[in-house]
Amino acid sequence: MNVIVVGCGRVGSQLATLLSVEGHNVVVVDRDAEAFKRLGTAFNGVTIKGLGFDEEVLEEAGTRAADAFAAVTNLDNTNLMAAEVARKLFEVPHVVARLYNPVRERTYQQLGLDYVCGTTLVAETLLEKLRSGHGHHVSQFGDIEFVQFKASEEVEGRRVEEIEILRKFRISAIARGEEMFVPEPEAILHEGDIVMASVKDDAYAKVERYMAEE
């Protein structure tokens, strides 16, 4: 399958890597060349710097031969325009768009766009839509993600306030054995704690080290 992914943020890069690992031909488009650093080592597709709704850029990306197209930037207008260009000008059979603001959901629906919004906004969901046309759930509110994870050895003995990031990363609850509690800033964390937290998209890479691999 030939797939175009517009947007190489955390979701787009994961989606592109998953598709690449499965053996699909993937082209990733992003206006920021630095974003391509997020792609996994398993990614063996093509990257193109440019706007995802620019006709010349999409022509270069091979959109005319694409079987599927995913617009997954963090800007609703960009995703909407890219999806419409792919669908109407390039006649891509299957187009999926990422929707951040639920207020705009009606617009997406009126245009007949297949989209992923809010609680289903993860790379695995987008991958499933590209495969089958049907829409891992992560709770999402705009660019803030609500996550649950097992604490890694990086947090052992550290205070909550030491690892939180002002306006970027906040721990709201901890489960330890049979005990669950809302922690004070000075509460000590331990490896293996189950943590509920909110994190901004642009801070996710900084806090991933606190998340143990399952």
CB 145 within 8 A of CB 128: no
Query: Could you give the CA distance from residue 36 to residue 32 in angstroms, rounded to a whole number?
Result: 8
| Domain spans, the chain | 2-138, 143-210
Phi/psi of residue 109, each to 5°?
A: -65, -40
Query: Could you give the CA distance from residue 79 to residue 89 in angstroms, rounded to a whole number?
Result: 15
**0.85 cut: is pTM over it?**
no
CB 155 within 8 A of CB 45: no
The span from the first CA to the last CA of the chain, in angstroms, equals: 30
pLDDT tens by residue, 140-181: 666 788 888 889 999 999 999 999 999 999 999 999 988 889
pLDDT tens by residue, 176-202: 988 889 999 999 999 999 888 998 888
- Listed in sequence order, the residues at least 6 apart from 37 whose beta carbon sits closer than 8 Å to its beta carbon are none
Give domain 2-138's CATH number out of 3.40.50.261, 2.40.160.20, 3.40.50.720, 2.30.180.10.
3.40.50.720
In CATH terms, the superfamily for domain 143-210 is: Regulator of K+ conductance, C-terminal domain (3.30.70.1450)
